[in-house]
Amino acid sequence: MSRAGKPTDNPVNESLNGWMKEELYMDFKINECRNRDEFIAVLDKYVDFYNKHRPCYALGYDTPVNYRKRFFKGKLERKNTFANRVLSEEPKFVQKRRKQAHSADVSTFLDSCSGL
């Protein structure tokens, strides 16, 4: 997911982990578990809640289980989000910086030529 000790690598996962911890402590009272079996039971309840009952904003306030059912019944449009993706060894931010630097170099060159 991300490098150890680098939460900025993956803010989405870090945020999700925070929400899950908050719900587990506040709503499911995980801190009151006294043994391994109680802990596992609470986690099982939470997974069931998360997948079957908790509405998700990214899914249009639907639950993951219901969204999946609707998707496989053909009620939701299939999006081919990776169709135009170009894979590269070089990260996008490096490509963007290189392009910006190139644009700046061309602009500087053109400015210097306009004075001739």
Chain segment 29-57, per-residue pLDDT in tens: 999 999 999 999 999 999 999 999 999 98
pLDDT band at 116 (very low <50, low <70, confident <90, very high): low
The residue behind tokens 């219901």 is 66
Residue 64 and residue 50 in contact, taking contact as beta carbons nearer than 8 Å: yes
Q: How confident is the model at residue 7 (pLDDT cuts 50, 70, 90)?
A: low
- The pLDDT tens digits of the residues spanning 52-75 come to 999 998 899 999 999 999 999 999
DSSP 65-112: HHHHHHHHTT-S----TTTT----SS-HHHHHHHHHHHHHHHHHHHHH
